[in-house]
Amino acid sequence: MITAVRMPESAEAAAEAAARGGRVMAGGTVVMAEVNTGPVADTELISLRHAGLSGITVNEGVARVGATTTFAELRSGLGFLSEAIRTLASPTIRNLATVGGNLFVPQPYGDFAVCLLALDATVEIAEGQETPIAEWNRRPGEIVTAVRFAVPREGTWFYHKAMRRKLNSAAIVTVAAVVDRDTVRVALGGVAPGPVRSPAAERVLRGQELTRDVLDAAGEAALADIDPRDDAYASAWYRRRVLPVHVRRAFQNEEA
């Protein structure tokens, strides 16, 4: 049962409070839903609202996004992510949900982590460490302070999400990719316990024109890198069945 809410005014103070126990909360769209719908083991909430962790800066093509930056703010600040953010949740939730908080949301939700994997982002935490997102292990109570990534050149960023509803729905399949000269990164969501890169699809795409045949081959190759599960949104069989189609749609901007 929650008996206190702490509102530290710095990342360091938040980390100290988290080390003593308590549930860390950013926008509250996930944590408060849990608190309001059932018993929780924690007795304190540690709100990051006043910890000074929001904001977007871009310096020499590298963006740094503070952990408590909302998705509404991010959509306005980095236009290339607009379509991806539109699929994350309803407008109301995007006004509250934060970049850092979304990293702790498990698949088939937590789509922004798929984007960050494709962007080869790094995650900063309060202790001053910076870790590639592909190597970062999510730990409850850890204070994420920011994410950092290179902004892709125009025309090199691709994104597509298949879902049951237009808003506020978990992913059946999410595809995010950067293809630029020798750089090829394809990340997938909804098809494994966490976001995954697809080295098999990347090998097919590298150095190739993005024709229908190449994209179809990349989609088929991506099947080697997934481990889908059954859930209320889709079966593992269905996710395997439709993945190649959605890989192609990501690059051709096709609607589901």
pLDDT value of residue 131: 93
- pLDDT digits 0-9 by tens, 100-112: 888 888 778 888 9
Can you tell me the distance from the alpha carbon of 164 to that of 73, in angstroms, rounded to the nearest whole number? Answer: 26
Topology (CATH level 3) of domain 157-252: Enolase-like; domain 1 (3.30.390)
Residue 108, preceding peptide bond in cis (omega within 30° of 0): yes
Nearest by Cα to 101 from 137, 136, 145: 145
- Please give the CATH number for the structural domain made up of 56-150: 3.30.465.10
pLDDT value of residue 127: 67
Ranges of the chain with pLDDT below 70: 127, 140-141, 167, 254-256
Give strand pairing partners of 180: 183
CB 169 within 8 A of CB 163: yes
Domains of the chain, by residue range, sit at 4-47, 56-150, 157-252
Nearest by Cα to 179 from 209, 149, 200: 209
pLDDT value of residue 201: 98
Can you tell me the distance from the alpha carbon of 141 to that of 177, in angstroms, rounded to the nearest whole number? Answer: 30
- pLDDT digits 0-9 by tens, 153-164: 999 999 999 998
Can you tell me the distance from the alpha carbon of 26 to that of 98, in angstroms, rounded to the nearest whole number? Answer: 7
